[in-house]
RNA sequence: GCCUUCGUAGCUCAAUGGACAGAGCAGUAGCCUUCUAAGCUAUUGGUUGCGCGUUCGAGUCGCGCCGAAGGCACCA
């Protein structure tokens, strides 16, 4: 917004600078730090510092220049007042003019306000990446929520996004599960909650594996049958994998995430081995079998020292590894979709691995290798920086967390809206609970460890999703009560109160926030913005009466409430959090 | 040993290189005949781990320490 005004002022500045033989530095636009008035600020320090003829200290010179520029600035439509303060030129907007323009713009564009039309070659975001046959815990949650939000954010910023999921459907964990099933649960069928049923069998298998004498040997024997392609084992794998996928889809449905393309580890295993042979014959890889594995010594190839290290791409027994499959997977992604960019949402512990993969692909001659980006995020720990461990039983399962939070939310809903039908209560409780769970996972910077504790997770007050949801609900509530009243052409030429100006200003920042957050792949910026927007709306709500005000003000405030509602709903959508109708 | 990330109020976290470092939680004192109190108001709380640099200006950039976490050949 305000591009036109900025251009006009920039032109005047260029002239001002030319007249005084100043270095024509581009102006750096900033927001005004003061509340209650809306405008832009221009720091004059860079200009003053670059002036070779300055005789005063920079801050004083900056103030002098700012005063001179403020005095020389001609009348610009939409700017009501110009002031030089502490080395800044502060431009105050003509609030009636811009408020009207903004509110109308937001209401015209609705939930697309601040969005750009998707254009260009697609970007793929791989996220979630669970294993079949295993439980989901809060560690998976951060990946899911972060990845989902990054997709929404990129879409909002004008990218075509392909949501991808890479699922670990083979490996020791699957064998353990099947061995336990065959031995102790032969013939059993999954319950309605497939995810939980699958998880329980896995947890039991894992316990037997470490505690039960002889079980590990059984699993080994079972693995041999898998390697030998025993038809019974394959059949069981296909059946149980399908159960697991159904359970997983139930979870995604509940949590509100979707995928355009699902890749399976089993799908790229064979092509991975082909790639290894190709790498050996092309001389990039060294085949040390049978004693040693197949490796790529990146540091040796690149002449670097302890930087890229060594990648093992095939075990000495010829079986495949994670790295074996990553290579054909990357190729498949780019070839299938002609991607402009491929983003991997994977935790920070795999940074070296991702760096190695991109380098191998570059050495193989793929021109798109430089368009592979690892979105690294830190893990979720318990208070005291304790890492969750299934062995210690400290892992917080997604299932338990959702159930507990929903119960807690339900009791609040019952208390506050006792007349609602049971189903509505449950659906509100679920939306609040999921929001509360998601918000802490997304409001921290990607590179910071999230500390999970039950108390904060189940706290629906203060800096939290329910706070933001509640602000949206309040806005909707006002609009619902005003259902009979038609919102007409709003005018903001009355004396606007501070909360109104703050709210208008905050809403106006949304398009820039979306662009910045998308560029930096940081949904946390939107999460923080969402909270601030909600806080400012609550301030408005408490101080500015809407319904029952004199008609002109009521009309203007109703339009503003509608714009705020749109902005709040929009940021919640980007964060992957639902906004209930009632709370 | 090499590399990466983090260190801000008692706790959990914010803060485009820019004006006085802000919120929430916890504590204390208040506000429901008023558009929903999952809310609001007031109040307490800081040598931004330490040092040196770059800059007109550093929580933010660079270097060096200290502390925490993670990664570095057949786990994913």
Residues A75-113: pLDDT tens digits?
Answer: 888 899 999 999 999 999 999 999 999 999 999 999 999
Give the pLDDT of residue A66.
95
Residues 6+ apart with CB under 8 A from A286: A280, A294, A295, A296, A297
Q: Is the pLDDT of residue A390 over 90?
A: no
Residues A330-359: pLDDT tens digits?
Answer: 999 999 999 999 999 999 999 999 999 999
Residues A195-232: pLDDT tens digits?
Answer: 999 999 999 999 999 999 999 999 999 999 999 999 99
For A254 and B34, how far is CA from C1' in angstroms?
38
For residue A559, the number of C-alpha atoms closer than 13 Å in the C-beta half-sphere is 23
Between the alpha carbon of residue A172 and those of residues A300, A355, A496, the distances in Å are 32, 26, 66
Residues 6+ apart with CB under 8 A from A455: none
Give the pLDDT of residue A22.
86
The string of DSSP codes covering A391-455 is TTT---BHHHHHHHHHHHHHHHHHHH-TTS-HHHHHHHHHHHHHHHHHHHHHSS-TTSPEEP-HH
The pLDDT-based confidence of A483 (bands split at 50, 70, 90) is confident
Task: Report H helices in A342-397.
Answer: 351-363
Residues A133-176: pLDDT tens digits?
Answer: 999 999 899 999 999 999 999 999 999 999 999 999 999 999 99
Q: How far apart are CA A340 and CA A569, in angstroms?
A: 30
Instruction: Check residues 351 to 390 of chain A and report those whose beta carbon is under 7 Å from nucleic acid strand B.
Output: 351-353, 378, 383, 385, 387
Give the pLDDT of residue A326.
96
Q: Is the pLDDT of residue A119 over 80?
A: yes
Tell if A445 CB is < 7 Å from nucleic strand B: yes
For A57 and B37, how far is CA from C1' in angstroms?
53
For A394 and B50, how far is CA from C1' in angstroms?
36
Residue A383: Cβ-neighbour burial (10 angstroms; 0-12, 13-18, 19+) = exposed
For A379 and B64, how far is CA from C1' in angstroms?
29
Q: Which residue is nearest to nucleotide B6 (CA to C1')?
A: A448
For A474 and B24, how far is CA from C1' in angstroms?
20
Give the pLDDT of residue A571.
98
For A42 and B18, how far is CA from C1' in angstroms?
10
For A520 and B70, how far is CA from C1' in angstroms?
23
The pLDDT-based confidence of A9 (bands split at 50, 70, 90) is very high
Residues A399-444: pLDDT tens digits?
Answer: 999 999 999 999 999 999 999 999 999 999 999 999 999 999 999 9
Say which range, A25-29, A340-344, A397-401, A474-478, has the weakest mean pLDDT.
A25-29
Token duo for residue A2 = 């305000």
Nearest nucleotide by C1' position to the A408 CA atom: B38
Tell if A31 CB is < 7 Å from nucleic strand B: yes
Residues A166-181: pLDDT tens digits?
Answer: 999 999 999 999 999 9
Cα–chain center distance at A248: 20
Nearest nucleotide by C1' position to the A558 CA atom: B35
Cβ atoms of A147 and A128 closer than 8 Å: yes
Q: Is the pLDDT of residue A281 over 90?
A: yes
Tell if A432 CB is < 7 Å from nucleic strand B: yes
A352-A358-A362 Cα angle (round to 5): 140
Q: Is the pLDDT of residue A23 over 80?
A: no
Give the pLDDT of residue A391.
77
3-state DSSP assignment of residue A244: helix
Tell if A426 CB is < 7 Å from nucleic strand B: no
Residue range A548-569: average pLDDT? 96
Give the pLDDT of residue A232.
96
Q: Is the pLDDT of residue A53 over 90?
A: no
H or E stretch at A383: none
How many residues in total does chain A contain?
Answer: 583
For A78 and B23, how far is CA from C1' in angstroms?
33
For A444 and B64, how far is CA from C1' in angstroms?
29
Task: Enter the ipTM.
Answer: 0.96
Q: From A508, A518, A523, select the one nearest A567 (Cα to Cα).
A: A508
The pLDDT-based confidence of A373 (bands split at 50, 70, 90) is very high
Tell if A537 CB is < 7 Å from nucleic strand B: no
Q: How far apart are CA A509 and CA A131, in angstroms?
A: 40
Residues 6+ apart with CB under 8 A from A396: A137, A138, A388, A452
Q: Identify the residue whose tokens are 């975001």.
A: A125
H or E stretch at A497: none
Tell if A292 CB is < 7 Å from nucleic strand B: yes
For A390 and B13, how far is CA from C1' in angstroms?
27
For A551 and B23, how far is CA from C1' in angstroms?
36
Token duo for residue A144 = 């899911």
For A477 and B54, how far is CA from C1' in angstroms?
54
Give the pLDDT of residue A33.
85
Which nucleotides in chain B have some atom under 7 angstroms from a protein Cβ?
A: 1-7, 12-16, 18-20, 23-25, 34-36, 38-41, 55-57, 68-76
Residue A264, strand partner residues: A167
Tell if A459 CB is < 7 Å from nucleic strand B: yes
Say which range, A71-85, A434-448, A460-474, has the weakest mean pLDDT.
A71-85
Tell if A81 CB is < 7 Å from nucleic strand B: no
Give the pLDDT of residue A150.
98
Instruction: Give the neighbor-by-neighbor strand order of the sheet with A286-287.
Output: A286-287, A294-297, A310-314
Q: Which residue is nearest to nucleotide B34 (CA to C1')?
A: A545
Can you say whether the dihedral through the CA atoms of A29, A30, A34, A35 is positive or negative? positive
Mean pLDDT of chain A: 94
Tell if A168 CB is < 7 Å from nucleic strand B: yes
Token duo for residue A76 = 């610009």
Q: How far apart are CA A141 and CA A395, in angstroms?
A: 12
């Amino acid at each position: 917004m305000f591009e036109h005004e900025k251009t006009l002022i920039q032109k005047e500045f260029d002239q001002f600078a030319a007249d005084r033989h100043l270095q024509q530095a581009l102006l750096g636009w900033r927001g005004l730090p003061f509340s209650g008035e809306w405008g832009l600020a221009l720091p004059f320090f860079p200009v003053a510092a670059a002036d070779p003829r300055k005789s005063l200290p920079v801050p004083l010179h900056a103030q002098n220049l700012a005063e001179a520029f403020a005095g020389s600035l001609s009348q610009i439509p939409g700017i009501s007042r110009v002031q030089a303060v502490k080395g800044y030129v502060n431009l105050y907007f003509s609030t009636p003019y811009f408020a009207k323009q903004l509110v109308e713009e937001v209401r015209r564009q609705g939930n697309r306000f601040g969005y750009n039309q998707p254009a260009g070659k697609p970007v793929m975001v791989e996220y979630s990446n669970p294993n079949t046959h295993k439980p989901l815990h809060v560690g998976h949650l951060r990946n899911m929520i972060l990845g989902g939000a990054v997709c929404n954010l990129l879409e909002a910023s004008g990218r075509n996004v392909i949501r991808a999921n890479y699922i670990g459907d083979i490996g020791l964990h699957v064998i353990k599960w099947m061995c336990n099933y065959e031995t102790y649960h032969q013939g059993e069928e999954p319950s309605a909650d497939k995810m939980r049923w699958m998880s329980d069998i896995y947890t039991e298998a894992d316990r037997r594996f470490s505690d039960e004498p002889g079980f590990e040997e059984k699993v080994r024997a079972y693995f041999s049958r898998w390697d030998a392609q025993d038809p019974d084992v394959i059949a069981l794998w296909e059946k149980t994998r399908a159960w697991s996928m159904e359970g997983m889809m139930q979870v995604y449905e509940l949590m509100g995430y979707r995928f355009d393309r699902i890749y399976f580890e089993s799908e790229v295993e064979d092509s991975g081995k082909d790639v290894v042979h190709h790498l050996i014959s092309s001389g990039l890889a060294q085949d040390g079998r049978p004693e040693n594995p197949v490796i790529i010594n990146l540091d040796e190839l690149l002449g670097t020292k302890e930087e890229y290290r060594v990648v093992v791409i095939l075990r000495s027994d010829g079986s495949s590894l994670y790295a074996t499959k990553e290579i054909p997977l990357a190729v498949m992604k780019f070839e299938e979709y002609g991607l402009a960019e491929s983003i991997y949402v994977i935790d920070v512990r795999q940074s070296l691995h991702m760096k190695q993969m991109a380098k191998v692909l570059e050495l193989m001659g793929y021109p798109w290798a430089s368009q592979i980006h690892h979105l690294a995020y830190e893990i979720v720990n318990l208070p005291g920086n304790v890492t969750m461990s299934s062995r210690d039983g400290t892992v917080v399962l997604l299932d338990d967390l959702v159930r507990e939070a929903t119960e807690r939310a339900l009791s609040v809903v019952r208390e506050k809206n006792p007349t609602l039908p049971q189903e509505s209560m449950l659906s509100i409780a679920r939306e609040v609970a999921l929001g509360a769970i998601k918000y802490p996972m997304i409001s921290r910077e990607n590179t910071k460890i999230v500390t999970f504790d039950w108390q904060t997770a189940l706290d629906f007050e203060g800096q939290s999703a329910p706070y933001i949801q509640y602000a949206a609900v309040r806005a909707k509530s006002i609009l619902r009560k005003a259902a009979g009243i038609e919102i007409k052409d709003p005018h903001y030429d009355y004396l606007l109160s501070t909360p109104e100006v703050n709210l208008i200003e905050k809403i106006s920042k949304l398009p820039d926030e979306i662009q910045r957050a998308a560029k930096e792949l940081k949904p946390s910026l939107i999460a923080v913005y969402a909270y601030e927007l909600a806080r400012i709306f609550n301030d408005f709500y408490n101080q500015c009466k809407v319904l029952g005000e004199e008609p002109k003000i009521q009309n203007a405030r109703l339009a503003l409430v509608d714009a705020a509602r749109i902005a709040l709903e929009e940021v919640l959508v980007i964060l992957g959090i639902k906004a209930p109708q009632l709370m």
